[in-house]
Amino acid sequence: MKFSNYPITEEVKRGVEGLGFQKPTDIQFKSIPSILNGEDVLGIAQTGTGKTAAFAIPIVHKVQTQSIKGRKDGVRCLVMVPTRELAQQIQLVFNKIAKYTTVKIYALTGGVDQDPQIHKLNKGVDILITTPGRMFDLIAQGYLSLHRVNTLILDEADRMLDLGFYKDIQDVLKRIPKKRQTLFFSATINPKIKKLAYSLVNNAIRIQISPKDPVSKNVTHFVSLIEMDDKRFFLENIVSQHEGKKIMVFVRTQVRAERVVAAMDRVGINALTIHGGKDQKDRNTALKKFKENEVSLLIATDVTARGVDVPNVELVVNYDLPEIPENYVHRIGRTGRGKAKGNAVSFVAQNELDLLIAIEKFLGKKIPQMELSKREYQTVLDLSNEKSLGDLLDQIEFEEENERNIKNKKRRKKK
Ligand code: ADP
Ligand code: MG
């Protein structure tokens, strides 16, 4: 199958050509016809398999060809996502696909000034991609109405239907017409959330690919038993073995993210953090620098675990294991995207063994373990610049002490 054979407009075909895709991925192959048919879809496919284009291609076609008889334009498709970074990224994909059409696309997110956003909405937007917070602010202020939405898309659907966002979704459902097309996409879904998804649609959902193993087949992953206090030495070691290669590191908390950056800084390794405690400008800068290879080490919390598509991430390091098992799949899915292959390693300390068991239960299989002999383990510690720097400092102190002693002796002799 080629994209040129799909019943989509010539303009959309040209846009897709611009993306440089040769042929549809499995999830695209299976969901594009159903979406073009107006069916509701629950698309579950592994990370990095092109779910964005799977909904964006048919939706741009749909919006482009919809007749809007005599009524004023309004948002017709609403895409809801969990993070601002993801909203921006999806906007870029939509923009490329819609490049030769008049379809207007906009990512509306918080953390920035709202006036330019209001201006943009007033000029007319067809496809709105959004994190819920700012959207509700603008609805409350009367700048945005959703009553013309006929397509609702939840990307990272399980996350969007989970506790934190579910109320927002219900609120949106009250504001949009009952007659609509609803699309859910994610790499992970559990039975409870699946049931919830079913309850939100009128028609039978067309379920697409539902992989047994949610981990992308392009990702080779293993765990390594490493004591909490030694983790920084092992990260340093890995970074030195992957010079110039992009590595994404996930940690449990914002504080730990900053600590890891500080530890890397001590041994002369440059890294940036991205997490919910930073303002949006810094978050964007960090991601941009990482994308553009200005910095090759990015330390992140789970905020960036989902959806973010940075090309050529060579390795994902779980410095800490995630507390939510499915986040394991999303984190390591930041590598091995599209046709690329990737690797992932998780540092597991004694007190994280329970988390490991929970993750393996979720995956339905054991994660291979990289065994290190005592000697190999010790070598990593010995090789650290922090150690040699520490030794150096000890030596300087020792020599200074010696010098002081000699001087004191001389002084005493003089007396
Ligand atoms: P997912 O949402 O499934 O995790 P994305 O939509 O972010 O994946 O796509 C992952 C990567 O695969 C992107 O870099 C994208 O450009 C690439 N990609 C998507 N569809 C195709 C295709 N048909 N052929 C080649 N590459 C593709
Ligand atoms: Mg995605």
| Spacing, Cα 148 to ligand 2 middle (Å) | 25
Domain-embedded: residue 134? yes
Q: Is 204 exposed, middle or buried (0-12, 13-18, 19+ CB in 10 A)?
A: exposed
Same domain, 119 and 260: no
| Spacing, Cα 356 to ligand 2 middle (Å) | 25
| Per-residue pLDDT reduced to its tens digit, 196-229 | 999 998 776 777 676 788 999 999 999 999 999 9
Q: Which ligand is nearest to the CA of 45?
A: 1
Q: Which ligand is nearest to the CA of 330?
A: 1
Is the confidence at residue 114, as pLDDT, over 90?
yes
**Token code pair at residue 276:** 């919910």
Is the confidence at residue 174, as pLDDT, over 60?
yes
Find out whether 45 and 24 touch, Cβ atoms under 8 Å.
no
| Spacing, Cα 47 to ligand 1 middle (Å) | 9
Axis crossing angle, helix 231-241 with helix 254-266, rounded to the nearest 10? 60
| Spacing, Cα 404 to ligand 1 middle (Å) | 65
Same domain, 275 and 344: yes
Q: Which ligand is nearest to the CA of 47?
A: 1
Same domain, 68 and 32: yes
| Spacing, Cα 376 to ligand 2 middle (Å) | 38
**Token code pair at residue 172:** 């949106």
338 Cα nearest atom in ligand 1: 12
| Per-residue pLDDT reduced to its tens digit, 226-265 | 999 999 999 999 999 999 999 999 999 999 999 999 999 9
- The DSSP result for 203-232, as a single string, is SPPEE----SS-S-TTEEEEEEE--GGGHH
Ligand 1 pocket mutation, candidates 6, 19, 208, 313, criterion most atoms within 8 A of CB: 19
| Spacing, Cα 54 to ligand 1 middle (Å) | 9
Domain-embedded: residue 26? yes
Same domain, 240 and 171: no
The residues, any chain, with a CB within 8 Å of residue 253's CB and separated by 6 or more, are: 301
| Spacing, Cα 377 to ligand 2 middle (Å) | 37
| Per-residue pLDDT reduced to its tens digit, 354-407 | 999 999 999 999 999 999 999 999 999 999 987 666 666 666 777 777 777 777
Domain-embedded: residue 397? no
* The predicted structure's pLDDT at residue 164: 87
| Spacing, Cα 47 to ligand 2 middle (Å) | 7
- CB-defined site of ligand 1, < 6 Å: 21, 24-25, 28, 45, 47-53, 309, 311, 337-338
Same domain, 94 and 148: yes
Is the confidence at residue 70, as pLDDT, over 50?
no
Same domain, 55 and 197: yes
Same domain, 284 and 344: yes
23 Cα nearest atom in ligand 1: 23
Is the confidence at residue 58, as pLDDT, over 80?
yes
* Residue bearing tokens 């540092």: 347
Q: Is 182 helix (H, G, I), strand (E, B) or coil?
A: strand
The residues, any chain, with a CB within 8 Å of residue 223's CB and separated by 6 or more, are: 345, 346, 347, 348, 356, 367, 368, 369, 370
| Per-residue pLDDT reduced to its tens digit, 302-322 | 999 999 999 999 999 999 999
Residue span of the structural domain in which 193 resides? 3-209
Domain-embedded: residue 357? yes
We report the CATH number of the domain holding residue 172 as 3.40.50.300
The total of structural domains in the chain comes to 2
| Spacing, Cα 391 to ligand 1 middle (Å) | 48
Same domain, 185 and 237: no
Cβ count within 10 A of residue 154: 25
CA distance 44 to 211: 7
Domain-embedded: residue 401? no
Q: Which ligand is nearest to the CA of 56?
A: 1
CA distance 299 to 79: 28
| Residues flanking ion ligand 2, Cβ below 5 Å | 51, 307
Domain-embedded: residue 405? no
Is the confidence at residue 97, as pLDDT, over 90?
yes
Domain-embedded: residue 393? no
Same domain, 145 and 247: no
Q: How far is CA 173 from the centre of its chain?
A: 26
pTM for this entry: 0.91
Same domain, 243 and 138: no
CA distance 323 to 356: 9
Ligand 1 pocket mutation, candidates 21, 55, 219, 308, criterion most atoms within 8 A of CB: 21
* The predicted structure's pLDDT at residue 212: 80
CA distance 327 to 329: 5
Instruction: Pick the residue whose CA is nearest to atom 18 on ligand 1.
Output: 50
Q: Which of 11, 22, 24, 130 is nearest to 60 (CA)?
A: 11
Find out whether 205 and 198 touch, Cβ atoms under 8 Å.
yes
| Secondary-structure breakdown of the chain: helix, strand, coil percentages, each rounded to the nearest 5 | 50, 15, 35
Mean pLDDT of 86-107: 97
Instruction: Pick the residue whose CA is nearest to atom 5 on ligand 1.
Output: 50
Same domain, 251 and 153: no
CA distance 211 to 30: 14
* The predicted structure's pLDDT at residue 116: 96
Q: What is the mean pLDDT of the chain?
A: 92
Same domain, 370 and 232: yes
* The predicted structure's pLDDT at residue 69: 54
Q: Which ligand is nearest to the CA of 54?
A: 1
Q: How confident is the model at residue 326 (pLDDT cuts 50, 70, 90)?
A: very high
CA distance 211 to 119: 43
